[in-house]
Structure 1
Amino acid sequence: MAANKNLAALSYEGVSVWLDDISRTRLESGNLAELIADNSVVGVTSNPAIFSKAISQGDGYTGQLKDLAVRGVSAEAAVRTMTAFDIRWACDVLRTVYDTTGGVDGRVSLEVDPRSAYDTEKTIAEARYLWWLVDRPNLMIKIPATKEGLPAITAALAEGISVNVTLIFSLERYREVIDAYMAGLEKALENGRDVSRIKSVASFFVSRVDSEIDKRLDAIGSDEAKALKGRAAVANARLAYKEYEDAFATDRWTRVAERGATAQRPLWASTSVKNPDYRDVMYVEDLVAGNTVNTMPEDTLEAFADHGEAVSGTVTPHYADAADVLLRLEELGVDYADVVRKLEDEGVQKFIDPWNDLLAQVQTELDKQRS
């Protein structure tokens, strides 16, 4: 099968296509390898909800669960063993991409325990453990961009751990994430590490911004409010890209880059469209910019493959309009600071809940195997 033209065009514009999904079935069937060959997929991201769904469907984990039950391991240890197995396998499938891109792509992300999102030391310890457990150079450890997560990001990078910074909603927090990245590389250099091998992406969440702000606009109910629906998320992401351009053009960055470091790429996450009235690929088409990543669930990937259009420059020419959208929202009474605070809190909880569900689900399966 020939490579999909729409996704190939998106890649040509500098957008790396990552799949926001993983499962034992996808790996066993060779589907991930097919997506790499046919749909320009060059990376994979995961989260607790994805693993909870994967383990609940099919029998791909039955044999491993039986062995874990016989060994008498805890549900938490079982979850880590099974997820690390899948991540390691995906890393191996993507290893050729990793090698041919110099480590830029071919990446697979595994998240720290989300219950540690507000505990810096636990997050650092978890990042070290997962990095050791998977033991693949193309792994990325996902660390949430909470206040407590920022120093953990710096610490992990300083130890040579590649990091996918997740749950970024606000421009202010994104600036802090970039600072944490640069600080981590500076410390890595002080530690004598080869910074050219350390990579990072900053996952800026998109669709959830529209979901929250659209609710507030509906409550306002004016014509001006209705006219702004579905515009906040893209505007927010476009201004994040401007922050990226500005930050990685500074003297501070130049000093690190001269030692072999590469810029932390913006990653557009939460790109599935929640409102059926909106074009289903808008969070891909409207965010085409060089040196970015778009991580898509399979439905969005398939939609873009079918009818997506990769038009060059849908970000940088629109900075003024994006700033105007956020200004008009504030004038209408939509409190940006409150929106992003709420989304971060909810985002952490949306990872904790499926993590707890996953632990309970695995405990039930272990008990069945032992009975």
Structure 2
Amino acid sequence: MALGRCIDSAAVGHQHMHSHCVIYRLPAPHRLRPQQFHQPRRSQQVCAAGPGLIQKLSRVLREKAQGDLDRVFSGASKTRERLGVVEELFTYWSLEYADDTLEELEEALITADFGPKTALKVVDVIRSKVKQGELKTGEQIRGELKQSILNLLHTRGGNTDLQLGAEQPGVILVVGVNGGGKTTTIGKLAHKFDSEGVKVLLAAGDTFRAAAAEQLQLWADRSGVTVHTAARGKARPDNVLYEAVGRAIKEEYEVVVCDTSGRLHTNASLMEELAKCKRAIGKRLANAPHETLLVLDGTTGLNMLNQARQFNETVKLTGIVLTKLDGTARGGAVVSVVDELGLPVKFVGVGETVEDLQPFNAADFVEALFPAPAQT
């Protein structure tokens, strides 16, 4: 059975062997040391899961330590402000008023866009432990709240690896609604791959929006990567992606990142067009795309759940990229998406530069929402 090559954006610094793939887990950004970085060499041949390629791919998502986490989750402060009432509930916690307080906690989570279903699930865990006498103080309640959300993120969305298959090229299909940040995300992904010596091809599958290919080319120019655009008379997006994958095979590219037109998840004909794009990729390369990532605008709150549900039904998503996290007070919605759909958050975007795409770390996200109280 072929071995898959997987890139982990999470926080463990060793590899695990599985029957279907080799998972290379990367250190969390804040645990890296400068001596862990070295300049990779670009491979010159196609090698299924070869060690040189694996080494390069396993380094793609590592980030330098200084200030990474503050930058990644700086936007969580706005969600944290909306959750300010929760801290008051912890501070003035009393078993005598436990039922009323837990109802207020549930309402606070819903206000922060955790969603009724997810908020109830989290609070029910706390309520049960309070009744059993396991939780008695506000500090214990805070700890259990954080742990319950963290457990949910890990169990429902624990697989944050980029899984690119056993053979080259690995193909990533990027989808989403208009204005969510797809092209920007693709540009940042390309930069990450290219900076680690991975030969990457971008496919300009957005043939609908004016100047979409030009925008993708601008991002490509920043990193010096190649863009495959529509041939004359073949402007259908499925044709573009089919030909891009074929080119990648012929010219020995290691990764293909496919752009697509933004579309409303409620538009049935456009969603069917997207499904056709995915089928075209699979016809050119068996088992591709290896990743289908939905880019979600973090400012849309619970609307992202409806988007994710429809896109998942149409093209079977493998993960989420959350953008604009630096400008939203509605960060709780991502927990609801993970909970209800079982989709992992693989990256978060927090700015406009090529460096502003970071691996998602559930523990750091929860800590940013519910930080430990300042010591007096």
> Which category of TM-score, normalised to the shorter sequence, fits these structures?
0.3 to 0.5
Q: Considering only CA atoms, is the larger Rg found in Structure 1 or Structure 2?
A: 2
Greater fraction of residues in helix: 1
